[in-house]
Chain A
Amino acid sequence: MTRTVTLGFDVGVGSADGRAVAATVTAAENAGFGYVTFDDDDVATGGVDAVTRAAFVAATTSTVGLVATASTTYAEPFHLSSQLASLDYASRGRAGWVASRSLAPDVAAAWGREVVSADTDLVREQRDSVTVARGLWDSWEDDAVIRDFPTGRFLNQQKLHYVDFVGEEYSVKGPAIVPRPPQGQVVVFGRFGEIDADLLDVVLVENEADARAVTGAHVVLDVEAPGSPTAAAALVERIAALDDAIGGIRLRPDLIDDDLRVAARYVLPQLFERDLAHRPVPATTLRSTLGLARPVNRFEAAR
């Protein structure tokens, strides 16, 4: 039996034109990509933030995963976790998050904050943000809304939990204001070497050697999107021969719409034909597309 890979496409920092954003993501969905990633330029160059763009197409798409990049360095983890959980509701379980860092000092100046630049500090912010977001996503158990007519209770207090996160820089009480997202936990992506793989569902790597160093997460290899039919054919052969440590590939285009057309015509049909990849099934969640289980709530598990 041949093994299959999942397929992602990076739509970049994108456009401020809603119709253009929707057209690109719809084209990726029709081509059969498992997910798209929305990059975020961190307030620098005039782009709409990734979560808002992903949300804009959430209700007009149905199978493609919507993975938004959001930096952990200055943002409020409470807001981030609510935004991503809401993206998961709006997309019916297709939300993902690339938990990134902000390196440019300009970003700190725009936030009106002191620059966070030491590697240990960047690591701490990234780790704490993801830890808080994950805690908040579990702070409502799946069945916390009970609508109990006899007692008049809408919620079951026993199934709502304070997260009581205390870090070096800040603390977060909880619970979330958004109920547990449909996927239980939004799918968290991170770059290899930046963040402990235990906190991630998906690790993005640049090469096969790094892929072999990851355990316990779905590994995605970033590759340049082919710009021609010849390059496309070479990519298909490369995928056929991929190391087993790699669970999927993400195409990073140079020219988004052109490269998407090449991939749709010369890469995905060949992969499907050879059973090297599958189209996501309708009404799927991003977790199931990636072959990841829906996590049991930590509070439920502890009982």
Chain B
Amino acid sequence: MTALFRPDATVHLGVFYQGVNHTTIWSDPASGSQIDFETFRRLITTAERGLFDAFFLGEGLRLREQGGKILDLDIAGRPDAITQLAALAGITTNIGLVATQNTTYNEPVDLARRLSGLDVLSGGRAGWNVVTTDNAWTGENFRRGGYLDHADRYVRAGEFLDVARALWNAGGTPDSVRIQSSQFDIASAAPIPRSPQDHPVIFQAGDSSTGRDFAAQHADVIFSAHGTHFDDALDFANDIRARLVARGRPDDDIKILPGTQIVLADHERDVDEKVRWVKEGQFTGPTTLSIAGQVWGRDLSDRDPDGPLPTEDPIVSGVVGARGSAFNGIDVDARVREWRSLAEAKNLSLRQVVIETSARTGFAGTPSQVADELTRWVRGGASDGFNITPYLVPSGLDDIVDKLVPELQERGSYPAAYGGSTLREHLGLRRPSIGE
């Protein structure tokens, strides 16, 4: 593991509005609606005041289920990303607008056109987080139904991007686009004018080896899951840099922005207490039992979350876990063994084990401490910045913008103003070469 030394590097910040999750504490009185437009207005105007590069929306095209029923503990219900970002474009001037959109249940001409529409109307502020979705079950909401295995999804994703790029490159010209590939047979007039940043910025968020290669080939930015431990993030970043070089791209051609959470307290003595409050709000008793139930494949809702781990073996069958959850495809026996030894070693309750293993802690400290850490990460080459998921909606960015950002600015590791007007400029990305 080689740490870099980048003394002038600055921290890039984005906000990731998850929309479906248990990391937003909805039980707090300060927690507002998850769907009203005012919530989004408040978050994005705060982020723009804090000179964030981007406001980012996730996507999931089927409500999650557990045991054949819709999962009722988690926050769910969110807007269509591009439509919502277009509305937010109308009330902001600088901040980037990134839509997570999958390539499995979309068609390129439609999605390329809609993304481009967002890009031109916003004056070059659109980004596209390319995802493939992790399950066929989502397909039951679409014309062709569930299809494509994991590997073929990335084949389709790659060819999808080729079509989108061809359409974007032809934008504003009389050229038409004709593409025949394993997944597509398309002939289209270029439907879309070019934006000031030429194309929407491409983000990628898959973590498998195929996903990382896909990023090295196609992405401008990676939204990674490596946002808690410096060494882990650095390993990931070095792996991506090696993959870039292997493809003939400069090793800094991709910006890496891990998803993370930031918990701030004014005084050092209050930090642990605040972290505990956040985690207990996120991992309520019922949520703990639901997560454990996903691992065990059993209904554990009658257990005591603050008691010991279930003594039964997990049921390993085709229906393990919640549909649409992070637990699909894991080695359940290994996970249970890991949890049991952790519980034994540290004398932890079920809830404490779930918190310890599932919570992406991210960063916690006083604004000054966290500013030091974020600066260290970026200057040490572990990431180029962070995508922050607020644990409170819509007020969760207030202390970050009011207290953390000024600390970063004082250290010279954060800009004092927006340097450009497009998302590509904010992120310091090169323009896509035409006809690439």
Contact = CB atoms under 8 A, between A and B. Distances in A.
Contacts of A76: 105-107, 142-143
A197 interface: no
B72 A170 contact: no
A251 to B, nearest CB: 24
Interface stretch (A42-50, A217-225, A234-242): A42-50
B356 interface: no
A51 B108 CA distance: 17
Contact of B110 (A17, A75, A170, A175): A75
B121 A16 contact: yes
Interface stretch (B78-86, B371-379, B381-389): B78-86
Contacts of A215: none
11 contacts: A44-B191, A46-B192, A55-B86, A57-B90, A59-B90, A89-B35, A90-B84, A140-B77, A152-B285, A155-B76, A155-B77
B279 interface: no
A157 B63 CA distance: 11
A49 B117 contact: yes
Contacts of B61: 78, 177
Interface string A147-172: 10101111111001000000001111
A102 B106 CA distance: 18
B84 A86 contact: yes
Contacts of A156: 72
A57 B122 CA distance: 11
Contacts of B287: 152
Given A106-B189, A177-B77, 15 more contacts: A16-B121, A46-B191, A48-B116, A48-B192, A52-B82, A76-B143, A82-B80, A86-B87, A109-B188, A112-B186, A152-B286, A155-B76, A157-B69, A170-B144, A179-B77
B50 interface: no
B70 A89 contact: no
A207 interface: no
A90 to B, nearest CB: 4
Nearest to B123: A18
B90 A60 contact: yes
B422 to A, nearest CB: 14
B109 A178 contact: no
A110 B70 contact: no
B51 interface: no
A157 B143 contact: no
B143 A59 contact: no
A80 B78 CA distance: 14
Contacts of B37: 58-59, 89-90, 92
Contact of B27 (A18, A51, A149): A149
B307 interface: no
A53 B117 contact: yes
B91 interface: yes
Interface string B345-379: 00000000000000000000000000000000000
Contact of A174 (B77, B80, B141): B141
Interface string B34-49: 1111000100000000
A276 interface: no
Interface residues of A, number: 63
B107 A112 contact: yes
B143 A169 contact: yes
B120 A18 contact: yes
Nearest to A75: B110
Interface in B250-280: none
A74 B144 CA distance: 12
A110 B188 contact: yes
Given A147-B27, A173-B140, A44 B90 contact: no
B294 to A, nearest CB: 15
Interface in B50-76: 60-63, 69-76
A181 to B, nearest CB: 10
Contacts of A82: 79-80, 83
A156 B71 CA distance: 9
Interface of B: 26-27, 34-37, 41, 60-63, 69-80, 82-84, 86-91, 105-110, 113-114, 116-118, 120-123, 140-145, 171-172, 184-193, 284-287
B65 to A, nearest CB: 10
Interface in A89-132: 89-92, 106, 109-112
A87 interface: yes
B87 A48 contact: no
B118 A52 contact: yes
A24 interface: no
B74 A110 contact: no
B26 A147 contact: yes
A178 B110 contact: no
B189 A44 contact: yes
Nearest to A136: B141
A161 to B, nearest CB: 10
Interface in A187-213: none
B79 A48 contact: no
A45 B89 contact: no
A244 to B, nearest CB: 37
A31 interface: no
Contacts of B143: 76, 169-170
B191 A43 contact: yes
| Most chain B CB neighbours (cut-off 10 Å) among A92, A152, A156 | A152
B172 A155 contact: no
A18 B284 CA distance: 44
A111 B83 CA distance: 20
A28 B265 CA distance: 49
Given A59-B90, A86-B79, A18 B122 contact: yes
A59 B144 CA distance: 35
Contacts of B75: 154
